[in-house]
Structure 1
Amino acid sequence: MSKTTNLINRELSWLEFNQRVLSEASDASVPLLERLNFLCITASNLDEFFMVRVGGLELLISDGVEKVDNSGMTPREQLDKVLLRSREMVKAQYACFTAGIEPELASAGIRLVSPEAYSEQERNYLEKLFLEEIYPVASPQAVKSVEEFPLVPNLRLNLAVRLEGNDDGKKPLYAVIPLGSSLRRLVRLPADKGCTFTTVENVVRSFIGCYFPGKKVMEISAFRITRNADFNFNDEVSSDFMADMESLVSRRREERCIRLEVEAAASKMLTDFLRKALQVRQESIFELQGPVGLVDFREMLSVDGFNALRYKRWEPQQPADIDSTASMFIEIAKRDILLCHPYDNYEPVVKFIQEAADDPDVLSIKQTLYRTSPSSPIVQALDRAARKGKYVTALVELRARFDEERNISWAKSLEKSGVQVIYGLKGLKTHSKICLVVRREQRGIVRYVHFGTGNYNERTARLYTDISFMTCDDSLGSDASLFFNTITGYSEPQKFLKLHASPIGMKEKLIELIENEAGRSKDGQKAGIMAKMNSLVDPDVIEALYSASKAGVQVKLNVRGICCLRPGMAKLSENVSVVSIVDRFLEHSRIFYFLDGGVEKMFISSADWMPRNLVKRVELMVPVENKACKAKLKMVLESCFKDMAKSSRLKADGAYERLADPKAKGDGFRCQEFLYRSTCQKAEDEAKVQQTVFTPHKSPDLEKK
């Protein structure tokens, strides 16, 4: 077998990940509204996949590139297989919705009705709503020829209307009605019990004559387009980075169409007209057996009640080893703190930065920001700190894909407050998660640092599994200062004491750690690797893992998404196993463990094992040396490999097999449930201990001493 075929194609591997998410939508043991949520996630995922990955393949083909990738396929071959697999997936999505979720929701009291099922009362209600709220907003645009087709927005719902032609009627007339972002996709109807919805396109369809008086409407079809969002931006020659990024965001609205989705009932005449007008290839047209744009049905998830159709809430817990009444500086000074989100509450991280903003002894705050929430309390704290005269530096990565507009807005706002804002580094995305607080104390200047595997986003911290590590370790504090001085100035990269950074050494360190395990195994010593990440793509790292496997090292990998490594192949990777967990929380943490002869080296990181992370981004890999913190991380890793409820095993051919018995009734070990229950138990045990501790009230003067 050639070296190239030792690797799975990354695009096809990603599609298999989305299929695993779709499997959750089809799983009858998952609560019904959660199944709808998983289905909407697969639709949203596929939208982004087409914008970025399919768009990238289209560009390579148009540029005449025929070079094969690491799996041995040309861009054309990849695109053909991607489109074929995508069609299979879309067919499965709509079968899941129309034959499964939709009728089951109706039985549970959440109905989606079509025009032919409207009662007289419902039709009267919708007519009034149409005339008052839709007709004044949505306007048709006549399309006299394909050359005059309007610029329709990316991923927005539209109606294509074919009208009977003038004179002899042989040449039809066309119009487009953009339904835009200001109209809700789902319209709720009055109902005595339960919830009844219809779609906005069906409301317009029912009263289409109001738009075209005196004209005969021959047909109406909903459609949606996907525009390419993958294009090169050379920031090396940018003279005004902010302005160029704003231009890039605007440019996306006009990029070429790479996918057309249209209702299957649309005639060939109408579909051909859209194809020519949008200049999209026939192979890129998806005729859908259901409503266009499944992602919009997320609106159903917000209905009140129906708690039996949702997961039972798992509330984040106050970390058992953190005194919620004490300052975070006092808590971190006692010992290193490691939090596993979302089981551990994210509040201590927010509190740490908010306290830093308000503490008069804090001299400076330096932080990287990649994706934040719309009303981020962390960004607000940085703003407040700057207004209070503290030295605040924020590296706001403007190139965080699809979050560019929000980050541009935050950057401008922070600059007005006096924050030193760095827009990123030329030629590199800054994806590392680090916050450095410098504080004056009686013992001198102390550096407190937060390292994370996830974004500084308190909302996604409730939905993603991530790690927070807070410390005032002198070496890590020194490294943090060096890191910020390097990325904010013109200084040459210096050697860190403990940290490892990309693109200056992290990849080499990872390969060194893997090779060290291989060497120990060859010498007859115990060796082992456990790693958890989102994606494994880098061919050099994979080759090192293959070599370690051939040396007898047991390699256990938990890779949520893309995995290009082929496990279980004789004389190549028979000692490598790969699992993927898809459950109620998105697995997002990166944890790396190397046995190292019993020393047990443990790291957390912002980086996946992909070329883009290890070569094209600024990332950090942080050693965790505290015994209790290491034990907690090891427990997380080991629980991932025990999962028999929500885990799938990767096979050598790139397919996945579910480890759980589909006939079992949830009796298998479930990693996320175990970690949540363990966190709750620790919080409960700590609460009992606190009940037996007598804490006297002291005078304010004594408290200060």
Structure 2
Amino acid sequence: MTQIMPVLNSFQHSSTTYINREISLLAFHQRVLAQAKDENHPLLERLNFLIIFSRNLDEFFEIRVAGLMKQIDLNSITTAPDGIPNEVILQQISENAHQAIQDQYDTLNHVLLPQLEEYGVKFIQYNNIQKKHLEWIKNYFFKQVQPVVTPISLDPAHPFPRLVNKSLNFIVTLEGKDAFGRQIELAIVPAPRSLPRIVRLPDELTNGEEHYILLSAIIQQHINDLFPGMTATGCYQFRVTRNADLTLAADVDDLAVALKDELSSRRFGRAVRLEIAHNCPDSINSYLLEQFDLDPQHLYQVDGPVNLTRLIAHFDIPELRFKPFQAVIPKALRNPHKIFEVLSKQDVLLHHPFDSFQPVINLLKEAAKDPNVLAIKQTLYRSGPDSEIVQVLAEAARNGKEVTAIIELRARFDEESNIIVANILQEAGAVVVYGIVGYKTHAKMILIVRREGEKLKRYVHLGTGNYHAGNAKMYTDYGLLSTEPDLCEDVHKIFQELTGMGRMAKSKKMFHAPFTLHAQLLQLIENEIVFAKSGQSARIIIKVNALTEPQLIAALYRASQAGVKIELIIRSICCLRPQIPDLSENITVRSIVGRFLEHTRVYYFQNGGEEKLYCSSADWMGRNLFSRVETCFPIEDKKLKKQIIEFGLLNYLKDNVRAWELDSNEQWQVVRPKKDQAAYIAQQILMEQRTITTTA
């Protein structure tokens, strides 16, 4: 595939016009953390937001901070549009992250855990073990823990061990001599990865309440039993986070084999963060930092478990959860056996999770068993081996259909899962293609070819999100089901491009990266500038997960200066600075953080009154536009276009509860209802709309 390069322009960014992407991403994670403190959310949902923040921060360090540290190690000069040196950004990240983590543990220890105790749910740590627990803990330790734990003394014969990324470990200070008469002062105890990190105490100790003890507390309570004849004078839990990004050469012979080799090294990448108990002595902190080749700014002392993701609930109290919501199936698709008949007559739009993902699965199920269906082609980015879609595709292949799956093996942290999916489909007889080396296949497409009479008819599904039924319950995404001939022909050509390695597909209606999407977006912005300069009303509304691409930001600045009204709904990273006089005073930026993860990508251009509306798999980032295969498809049906504009865009611009707005100083401000203004929650409106439809 030909290397695609962005078109350069004369606009030069600096820190005054371009927000650093790493700082912006960390700010998003802090907006998620803020949900854990929001008393309007049910208690267990607040705990869940706290856990999501932990997961997000883990990945932030594994990928983004690791990338900065690698550049510093290589003495690379920053090429980021903001121009801020990597060392300065790393220091600011450290300051912001330390404050956020302090906030996180304060919220956990002083707000969430005490409130959970009021409902009979308690997490027992080492400092609150009671006398009545001791006998049970002793039995559990000797029967379940001691047989599988491996203490490692630190001496000339036993150097500091290689510890797995994000594993729970203890560093122990010792006095006395071991069985060989050696004076051992330090030891490492890795917590067995095969054991649960949280164990429920028996009812007889808790009066039937749900009390859980942390594995770390059990080990600490019996640390002396791991070193007979010696005395443990201190025991401190710690966890190291490592670089988990994967690097593949462009000339690999077998992508799957190369990926497997890289995955094995991910567990032991360069250390980027050290988390350790808050009461650990400075001498031990310094010792561990030296072992992991880290500076003090990478040390995070925490008052609680070093891995809060392990607090994920083993229990459920309905009144402490969001009120259950049942996604609906659009009326036209409620009879799955007539799905081809319905789609032959009309396009259908699905807005997940408010609309069920089941029609997509039903379409594939019908295709798998329909004798008139000849071929099924699909891209798979994050589906998983247990996915019903994967099983249906395998069934279709066994039924003699021509099944082609474009599987993106490099979907971050799902690489192993995707290799398994590829093997399942290959064994069933499907043709599996791994996409293009150097370009992740991020497009979301299904193409079904069906014989109807003397002709072949195509059916397509195009989406903004992954073919993952679980995500479709938690992420907001759009999916379009259509038989529109030009759209189907475009999808067919893109599949040929991915499997046949031929020339760039010339599309009739769709834009696709890395070829036409970036240029077309610039042109659409330019069109609005022309309308504004001619005195006409001009407006752009963009809803994406991230905005970082410098040329698009520069184009939006030019549009603002020309008088175009620009409203950006950006979930996470936004490198554009809004509300700067004479530059971006006509641009507003908001972020929605609520019950569901906002994931739709929608582009709206007023276009002189002849509105243009697109849905896409692509965010406005350089990687999406130049290093990925992405699709962008027009919504032309007037009813569906109105539906997306009203409920997918304007609805979110009205939100005054779950919205945050970005100011010119790079600060995100919570939006609250004005005096005499009713509370408005966009996601709640969409849920209520589906509830009314279902009960009508």
Q: TM-score, normalised by structure 1?
A: 0.93
What does 1:6-155 align with in structure 2 at a 5 Å threshold? 6-145=17-156, 148-155=159-166
CA distance in 2, matches of 1:648, 1:34: 19
CA displacement, residues 578-618 of structure 1 (integer Å, 9 cap, x when unaligned): 11000010000101111111111111000000000001100
Cα deviation for residue 464 of structure 1 reads: 0.4
SS of 1:6's partner is coil
| Counterpart check, 1:640 vs 2:655 | no
- 8 Å CA contact 1:189–1:196 kept in 2: the answer is yes
Q: Which residue type is aligned with residue 190 of structure 2?
A: P
Deviates more, 1:545-554 or 1:108-117: 108-117
CA RMSD, aligned part only?
1.9
| Counterpart check, 1:548 vs 2:562 | no
CA displacement, residues 12-60 of structure 1 (integer Å, 9 cap, x when unaligned): 1011101111110011121111000000101110000000000000110
The structure 2 residue matched to 1:653, chosen from 648, 665, 683, is 665
SS of 2:333's partner is coil
Partner of 2:286: 272
Cα deviation for residue 275 of structure 1 reads: 1.9
CA distance in 2, matches of 1:153, 1:592: 43
- 8 Å CA contact 2:405–2:430 kept in 1: the answer is yes
Partner of 1:261: 275
Q: Which residue type is aligned with residue 155 of structure 1?
A: K
| Counterpart check, 1:294 vs 2:308 | yes
- 8 Å CA contact 1:146–1:276 kept in 2: the answer is no
Q: Which residue type is aligned with residue 153 of structure 2?
A: A
Distance verdict in 2 for CA 1:138–1:667, change over 3 Å = farther
The structure 1 residue matched to 2:195, chosen from 183, 190, 196, is 183
SS of 2:122's partner is strand
Distance verdict in 2 for CA 1:325–1:255, change over 3 Å = closer
Distance verdict in 2 for CA 1:274–1:566, change over 3 Å = same
Partner of 1:466: 477
Partner of 2:582: 571
CA distance in 2, matches of 1:330, 1:154: 52
Partner of 1:248: 262
CA displacement, residues 117-159 of structure 1 (integer Å, 9 cap, x when unaligned): 4344322112111111112222212222598111211111111
The structure 2 residue matched to 1:315, chosen from 309, 326, 335, is 326
Partner of 2:253: 239
CA distance in 2, matches of 1:325, 1:505: 36
The structure 2 residue matched to 1:398, chosen from 401, 409, 424, is 409
Distance verdict in 2 for CA 1:662–1:296, change over 3 Å = farther
| Counterpart check, 1:448 vs 2:463 | no
CA displacement, residues 145-196 of structure 1 (integer Å, 9 cap, x when unaligned): 59811121111111111111549x9975222222143211112112213311
- 8 Å CA contact 1:8–1:564 kept in 2: the answer is yes
Cα deviation for residue 667 of structure 1 reads: 4.8
Partner of 2:392: 381
CA displacement, residues 375-434 of structure 1 (integer Å, 9 cap, x when unaligned): 101011111111111111111101111110000111122112111111120210000000
Instruction: Provide runs of 4+ in structure 1 moved above 3 Å.
Output: 114-121, 169-172, 661-664
- 8 Å CA contact 1:373–1:459 kept in 2: the answer is no
- 8 Å CA contact 1:146–1:273 kept in 2: the answer is no
CA distance in 2, matches of 1:412, 1:326: 30
Partner of 1:205: 220
CA distance in 2, matches of 1:73, 1:117: 46
Partner of 1:695: none
CA distance in 2, matches of 1:273, 1:662: 54
Partner of 1:475: 486
Cα deviation for residue 116 of structure 1 reads: 5.0
Q: Which residue type is aligned with residue 638 of structure 1?
A: L
Partner of 1:284: 298
CA distance in 2, matches of 1:200, 1:455: 36
Cα deviation for residue 443 of structure 1 reads: 5.8
CA distance in 1, matches of 2:27, 2:558: 26
CA distance in 2, matches of 1:170, 1:326: 76
SS of 1:468's partner is strand
Cα deviation for residue 353 of structure 1 reads: 1.1
Q: Which residue type is aligned with residue 3 of structure 1?
A: H
CA distance in 2, matches of 1:313, 1:663: 31
CA distance in 2, matches of 1:463, 1:248: 30
Partner of 2:423: 412
Q: Which residue type is aligned with residue 275 of structure 2?
A: E
Deviates more, 1:457-466 or 1:169-178: 169-178
- 8 Å CA contact 1:535–1:560 kept in 2: the answer is yes
Partner of 2:438: 427
- 8 Å CA contact 1:323–1:331 kept in 2: the answer is no
The structure 2 residue matched to 1:193, chosen from 184, 187, 208, is 208
| Counterpart check, 1:509 vs 2:520 | yes
Q: Which residue type is aligned with residue 548 of structure 1?
A: A
CA distance in 2, matches of 1:452, 1:241: 26
Equivalent pairs counted in the alignment come to: 679
CA distance in 1, matches of 2:17, 2:365: 49
Q: Which residue type is aligned with residue 622 of structure 1?
A: F
Deviates more, 1:140-149 or 1:378-387: 140-149
SS of 1:455's partner is coil
- 8 Å CA contact 1:394–1:419 kept in 2: the answer is yes
Partner of 1:703: none
Partner of 1:699: none
Cα deviation for residue 99 of structure 1 reads: 1.3
SS of 1:302's partner is coil
Distance verdict in 2 for CA 1:239–1:373, change over 3 Å = closer
Q: TM-score, normalised by structure 2?
A: 0.95
CA distance in 1, matches of 2:157, 2:637: 66
- 8 Å CA contact 1:225–1:261 kept in 2: the answer is yes
Structure 2 unaligned residues grouped into runs of 5+: 1-10
Distance verdict in 2 for CA 1:599–1:264, change over 3 Å = same
- 8 Å CA contact 1:227–1:257 kept in 2: the answer is yes
- 8 Å CA contact 1:373–1:458 kept in 2: the answer is no
Partner of 1:702: none
Q: Which residue type is aligned with residue 274 of structure 1?
A: L
- 8 Å CA contact 1:10–1:562 kept in 2: the answer is yes
